[in-house]
Structure 1
Amino acid sequence: MRKLKIMVANFFCDLDGYALGRPMGVVVDKKGAVLVADDVGNAVWLVAPSTTR
């Protein structure tokens, strides 16, 4: 299994450090994107590399 580096920090906090969401589940899809379930925000976030370089 490949080692992953954390590239997302403070993703669920505002500038004052207050939580805007609460990640409850994380999974990697077939293309390598990360899906994060947020139970406070009632959302699923997709984290993937940009397509432009």
Structure 2
Amino acid sequence: MEQHEKQHKVGKHRYVSDGMRYEYYQKARKDRTKVLSLAQGGLGLPFLFCT
């Protein structure tokens, strides 16, 4: 888990704190297989996703 400070811009050059956000990483293992799927999107365009 990584902790990052969120900030938003106030005016042209000033940033103020907006709380914290957290990123969670799931480590990939070498023996674990990934399934890639191709599906049709909402506008008829294909997209690829991993499960």
What is the TM-score when the length of structure 2 is the normalising length? 0.21
Indicate the structure with greater strand content: 2
Structure with bigger gyration radius = 2
Larger RCO of the pair (alpha carbons < 8 Å, separation 6+) = 2
